[in-house]
Amino acid sequence: MATVSRDDTIFPPPLVAGDPTFGSITDTICRIVEKPPTIPWLVAFGAASTVLTMLLCAIAYLFWEGTGIWGLNNPVGWGWAIVNFVFWVGIGHAGTLISAVLFLFRQKWRTAINRFAEAMTIFAVICALVFPGIHVGRIWAAYWMLPLPNQMGMWPNFRSPLLWDVFAVSTYFTVSLLFWYVGLIPDLATLRDRAKGKLAFWAYGFFSLGWRGANRHWQNYERAYLILAGLATPLVLSVHTIVSFDFAVSVIPGWHTTIFPPYFVAGAIFSGFAMVLTLAVPSRKLFGLQDFITVRHIENMNKIILVTGTMVGYAYAMEFFIAWYSASPYEAFAFVNRAFGPYAWAYWIMVSCNVITPQLFWFKKIRTNIVLTFILSIFVNIGMWFERFVITMSLHRDFLPSSWDYFSPTLFDWAMLIGSFGLFFTLFILFLKFLPAVAIAEVKGVLPQANPHWEGYHKHAEGGAHHG
Amino acid sequence: MGHHKEFIDKPMLDAAVTGRAFKLAAVIGGVGLAATAAGLAMGEKEQFFFSWLVAFMVFTTISVGALFYTIIHHVARATYSAGLRRTAENVAANLPIMAVLFIPVILGMHTLYHWTHAEAVAEDPILQWKSGYLNDTFFLIRAAAYFAVWTALIWFFRRTSVAQDASGDVALTFKMRKYAPIGVLAVALSITFAGFDWAMSLDPHWFSTMFGVWTFAGSLVGFYAVQALMVLWLSKPGRYENTLTVGVRHDAGKLLFAFTIFWAYISFSQYYLIWYANIPEETAFFQHRLQGGWENVGRLVIIGHFLLPFWVLMSRHMKRNRTVLALGAGWMIVMHFVDLYYVIMPNFHTHGPHYHWMDLTALLGIGGLWLAFIIRRYQKAAGVAYRDPQLIASMEYDNA
């Protein structure tokens, strides 16, 4: 066989670059946690927590004054609160998808990115849960969302997908948190064993649950991880399916269409992977993780963005085609109004960012370009926020032309959208400092020398073929 | 590389094995087609066309599912499926045959599709609105386009794959990978609109954005069932027993299981959203299918196409057991037929199911012929892509 370059070999390049040893991996990842906070970290944390403070102030004023401070009006009774909720829940899909679905598919490249994708999931779901919580207006009655027995005999409407959301998202949050925590245990024990200070030793020791790395520990761990992955997979799909039901069970043109469940799930994966890239690209540079999150990882994620973005484009096309094919004047109006009505600007931002720009990832040069990846991932984040905005704004021209109106966000709408990013980044920046950002034990498992049949013990310098 | 495995099976199946199978398939196909033709000669024209359409759809969707699997293997750069891909190629290579078997559908267009009647369109504003899409000429142009795309794709992928048997050239794998992504797009769009044209437009007022995805989901369930049976047949002693390991069989079972769930998810979402919103123009579709006895077929679809296989195929032990996997896969092929029957046939027997012997003979006739053509390909080329550079690695997955 003729010699071929590394890119052309039939098997992909090794998952971990730079020929590391088990010890060097532990050192690289633990050092991020162990060294004192750097100036960039302090600046980032300061900025994020300032924005978070703005969110808290806006929420406090909302509780005092009521939802009238938002731009809601008569036909548009559902504004940015639902847009932001769906946006964040969507982002909260990638972590569990990477961890659970890619785990079941035995996609080993997931090991470098799963830890912080899972963390991102949990923080995104926290951001999402804020919005249904605060949008009820009478915050002291928020517990009515839960089916708690009470002497008034009042129950939530069990036929409403909004109630199923409460169950679906809280179940998803619980399982995602458990999944993340179970995966963390071996690494927490590593940090415990290396801890210099009393507090760190005590804290990591408490949460590592007495892990000693015994054979039996590993066996139980692997079993628990597999079961949680199996449980998390249907949950990932169910959450955004039910979120799509919030819209699709109605009789509103533009909301009621049968393709919504898989279309929403594809969109959620799409936006989640984009957010993983938005976070991974700067983090790997800042913390020197380039050997773990290699160009191959980034290229794989870009391919998933291309696939899911194209699925989303397919769904847009089907909606449009069937709106025409149905011969229903209301359906047709809803879509023509989206593309050419007062919100046409939002519609075309959505199409450009979700369908058109991701097509650039057809080119390997662009998929493997770190700067372009970062820029395009932000485009996807913007596009997916606008997708939910465009869908929600179907309300602005309802069946009664005399009540048509235009939704304009107020200062408080903006404060809460931007503020939710403050919450998200504050949590994420804290995570980077206090927990191992890459799954140490799992990355070691995909090294060639982890294979008991590895032939390279005597010629380690060559790197070794990792397949086999 | 720990356990060194290598390809030790004979590249070609024994002529006696394929000869027997070919004869059996050809006889079933011949008898089925003859009986169906007799039914047509006896004057049961309408029943003939509907029975034919159902059988045609069963095997066309399975073949398109095979085409999708052939291509997605290269898109995903999968290793595990290296031993399976020749089977998918051989099944998908039947698509040009399906184009020939589409001729009776063209001849029966007027019987099958209400929107082909000019007088019906004249008094129906909805059909007039749709006539830019639903008209005879454009319908035929589209059908020709679907078959052209499918034929071109399978011709390229199978020819390149068989060429690798001779040369073992890695460059051919890269060539297939290069064209695979665009192929996936083409298959996704063509099966969507084929579903709209051939099945959804039977009830020309009804519409669902999910219908294309539903057609696709059923196609893959049908194909994975066929694939599981083929793998069981090919992995018998003396055939490819060392290549198509228990791990490969397990994978075939997993695909069937996973896509059975996917199909259920899609079908349920479609039904549920229409039921919940309860808009008359959409619910009419299910209304027809929930009365006069059709509701029993619907129950069979729910239980037989989802609940039963879900519990049976979930277990690892069941998927690795030859008998259970064979029963499960065979059952799912029947269920794929029932599913399409439930969507297509109520357009003809509107007041309740009326089972006709031609439903069975058309299915066996097309199916036998379809299988015979597949077996022919095993007589002409190796039954696994035995010089695929990933084949050895695929044999090392034991799925333990």
Q: How far apart, in whole angstroms, are the C-alpha atoms of residue B324 and residue A340?
A: 56
Alpha helix ranges (H) inside B131-245: 136-167, 170-198, 211-234
- Cβ atoms within 10 Å, residue B235: 21
Q: Do A322 and B273 touch (CB under 8 A)?
A: no
Q: How far apart, in whole angstroms, are the C-alpha atoms of residue B109 and residue B37?
A: 18
Closest CA to A75 of A375, A347, A453, A401: A401
Which residue from A241, A258, A327 is facing B209, i.e. has the nearest CB? A258
What residues of chain B lie within 8 A of the CB of A452, using their CB? 2
Q: What is the mean pLDDT of chain A?
A: 89
pLDDT at A13 over 80: no
- Cβ atoms within 10 Å, residue B181: 18
Contacts of A428 (CB under 8 A, 6+ apart): A116, A119, A120, A123, A279
* pLDDT at residue B80, as a whole number: 87
Give residue-wise pLDDT tens across range B330-386: 999 999 999 999 999 999 999 999 999 999 999 999 999 999 999 999 999 999 999
Which residue from B125, B188, B211 is facing A314, i.e. has the nearest CB? B188
Interface test with B, best of A10, A239, A303 (most B CBs within 10 A): A10
Cα distance from B351 to chain A (closest Cα, Å)? 25
Q: How far apart, in whole angstroms, are the C-alpha atoms of residue A254 and residue A319?
A: 8
* pLDDT at residue A450, as a whole number: 78
Inform me whether the C-beta atom of residue B279 falls under 8 Å from chain A C-beta atoms. yes
Mean pLDDT of A66-85: 92
Which residue from B181, B273, B389 is facing A256, i.e. has the nearest CB? B273
Token digits for B133? Answer: 């899409």
Mean pLDDT of A444-451: 81
Q: How far apart, in whole angstroms, are the C-alpha atoms of residue A260 and residue A243?
A: 9
pLDDT at B398 over 80: no
Query: Considering only alpha carbons, which residue of chain B is nearest residue A9?
Result: B170
pLDDT bin (cut points 50, 70, 90) of residue B400 is low
Percent of the residues in chain B that have a pLDDT greater than 90, as a whole number: 88
Inform me whether the C-beta atom of residue B174 falls under 8 Å from chain A C-beta atoms. yes
Q: Are A420 and A356 in contact (CB under 8 A)?
A: no
Token digits for B389? Answer: 């550079």
Percent of the residues in chain B that have a pLDDT greater than 70, as a whole number: 98
The 3-state DSSP composition of chain B as helix, strand, coil percent (nearest 5) reads 80, 0, 20
* pLDDT at residue B12, as a whole number: 92
Which residue from B173, B189, B208 is facing A10, i.e. has the nearest CB? B173
Q: Do B213 and A12 touch (CB under 8 A)?
A: no
* DSSP sequence for B226-255: HHHHHHHHHTSTTSSTTTS-HHHHHHHHHH
Q: Are B94 and B373 in contact (CB under 8 A)?
A: yes
Q: Which residues of A touch B (CB under 8 A)?
A: 1, 4, 8, 10-12, 237, 241, 245, 248-251, 256-262, 310, 314-315, 318-319, 322, 325-328, 362, 451-453, 455, 465, 467-468
Which residue from A249, A322, A327 is facing B273, i.e. has the nearest CB? A249
* pLDDT at residue B326, as a whole number: 96
Cα distance from B318 to chain A (closest Cα, Å)? 18
* pLDDT at residue A458, as a whole number: 53
* DSSP sequence for A89-133: HHHTTHHHIIIIIHHHTT-GGGGGTHHHHHHHHHHHHHHHHHHHH
Token digits for B104? Answer: 């009776």
* pLDDT at residue B220, as a whole number: 97
What residues of chain A lie within 8 A of the CB of B393, using their CB? 11, 467-468
Q: Are B83 and B392 in contact (CB under 8 A)?
A: no
Inform me whether the C-beta atom of residue B76 falls under 8 Å from chain A C-beta atoms. no
Contacts of A231 (CB under 8 A, 6+ apart): A175
Query: Considering only alpha carbons, which residue of chain A is nearest residue B208?
Result: A258
Q: Are B79 and B98 in contact (CB under 8 A)?
A: no
Q: How far apart, in whole angstroms, are the C-alpha atoms of residue B49 and residue B136?
A: 17
* pLDDT at residue B145, as a whole number: 98
pLDDT bin (cut points 50, 70, 90) of residue A182 is very high
pLDDT at B173 over 80: yes
Closest CA to B139 of B212, B227, B200, B77: B200
Q: Do B208 and A310 touch (CB under 8 A)?
A: no
Token digits for B199? Answer: 């099945």
Q: Do B389 and A453 touch (CB under 8 A)?
A: no
- Cβ atoms within 10 Å, residue B61: 28
Q: How far apart, in whole angstroms, are the C-alpha atoms of residue B260 and residue A125?
A: 30
Which residue from A8, A237, A249 is facing B276, i.e. has the nearest CB? A249
Q: Do B213 and A1 touch (CB under 8 A)?
A: no
Give residue-wise pLDDT tens across range A255-267: 999 999 999 999 9
Closest CA to B320 of B395, B250, B233: B250
Q: Do B210 and A258 touch (CB under 8 A)?
A: yes
Compute φ and ψ for B78, nearest 5 degrees. Answer: -70, 150
What residues of chain B lie within 8 A of the CB of A251, using their CB? 277-279
How distant is the alpha carbon of residue A263 from its chain centre?
16
Q: How far apart, in whole angstroms, are the C-alpha atoms of residue A90 and residue A88?
A: 5
Q: State the Cα torsion A177-A180-A181-A182 to the nearest 10°.
A: 120
Which residue from A237, A245, A468 is facing B396, i.e. has the nearest CB? A468
Mean pLDDT of A151-160: 88
Which residue from A241, A262, A453 is facing B2, i.e. has the nearest CB? A453
* pLDDT at residue A6, as a whole number: 39
Q: Do B170 and A4 touch (CB under 8 A)?
A: yes
pLDDT bin (cut points 50, 70, 90) of residue A108 is confident
Inform me whether the C-beta atom of residue B124 falls under 8 Å from chain A C-beta atoms. no
A10-14, A70-74, B182-186: which has the minimum mean pLDDT?
Answer: A10-14
Closest CA to A463 of A27, A7, A21: A21
Closest CA to A60 of A149, A157, A134: A134
Cα distance from A374 to chain B (closest Cα, Å)? 23
pLDDT at B27 over 80: yes
Contacts of A464 (CB under 8 A, 6+ apart): A448, A449, A454, A455, A456
